[in-house]
Amino acid sequence: QTGIIAQYSNLCIEEENLAEFVETFRNGKIKGINVTLPHKEQIIPLLDDINPRANSIGAVNCVLKTNSTLIGYNTDWYGFSMLLKSNGIHADDKSCLIVGAGGVSKSVVYSLIQSGVKSITITNRTLNKAGKLVDHFKKISHHTELTSIPLDITKIEQLNPNIIINCTSVGMSPDFSHTPLPDYPFHSRQILVDTIYNPLKTQLMKDAENGNAKTINGMDMFIYQGLASLDLWLRMDISNQVKYKGLKDHLTQKLS
């Protein structure tokens, strides 16, 4: 759409090779990188500087190279905020449940605090990671109540959150049949956001649809974080130059 000649490709980097990769990136031709699971937190000490917002979030999903200086940014939080906006979700007075406590969860919690939600409860398979996230964000949250609970369906049923957001990798391709909330009884006054976009409809989304909840996948978050990354790398207002619908239709078709 923009006529810019550029290349973007994916690389699989094992955890033990991350530091070596960062040095190759620093000294090579690549201008910028996006960082995805499980490196969003581990990459921070390998960079030269962190943007203040990414520092508050504690996760980096985009790195900008200027000469050979590497600066970490977070565009995931913006991607999630735009997902809420573009789907007409007014989260301000809502109770939210975040499933997962990794890099994506941090960005989502930050975005929800910015939206001024009533409460955020974090649940995770490893409970102490959820507790650490709560402690981290309590420092910057003045109005939003933050708590953690075990990943237990009965406890989540009692909580009865307005919005449930899956920030785990459970259900992501090729793990199609799994869900992080097996047998959770969704209902029609709930909204489920799955930050996964591949597949476009996860098992969790199917379960939520069966309970007549509104469902949203992670495609809008994915696109908006990517556009914000392009704005940083190319130092241009790409996000306002592209036709969003054409982009979304193209990606949706590719993943269908």
Contacting positions for ligand ATR (CB under 6 A): 37-38, 40, 100-105, 124-126, 129, 167-170, 180
Q: How are beta strands 62-66 and 69-73 bridged, if at all? A: antiparallel
Q: How far is the CB of 106 from ligand ATR (least distance, A)?
A: 8
Nearer to ligand ATR, 229 or 238 (CB): 229
The DSSP call for residue 208 is H
Q: How far is the CB of 108 from ligand ATR (least distance, A)?
A: 9
Q: Which of 29, 31, 40, 118 is catalytic?
A: 40
Closest CA to 124 of 155, 86, 95: 155
Nearer to ligand ATR, 68 or 126 (CB): 126
Q: How far is the CB of 133 from ligand ATR (least distance, A)?
A: 9
Nearer to ligand ATR, 34 or 144 (CB): 34
Tokens, residue 240: 């306002």
CB contact set of 221 (below 8 Å; sequence gap of 6+): 76, 79, 80, 82, 83, 195, 197
The radius of gyration computed from the CA coordinates of the chain, to the nearest angstrom, equals: 18
Tally of CB atoms within 10 A around 174? 7
Nearer to ligand ATR, 190 or 225 (CB): 225
Q: Before 52, cis peptide (omega within 30)? A: no
Q: How far is the CB of 188 from ligand ATR (least distance, A)?
A: 26
Q: Which amino acid does the sequence have at 99? A: V
| Number of residue whose CB is nearest ligand ATR | 102
- Rounded (5°) CA angle 38-109-198: 50
The DSSP call for residue 239 is G
Nearer to ligand ATR, 100 or 238 (CB): 100
Determine the Cα–Cα distance for residues 218 and 107; give it in Å rounded to an integer.
13
Closest CA to 40 of 98, 99, 107, 100: 107
Respond yes or no: is residue 65 known to be catalytic: no
Q: For residue 34, list its beta bridge partners.
A: 62
Q: How far is the CB of 131 from ligand ATR (least distance, A)?
A: 11
Q: Name the residues annotated as catalytic.
A: 40
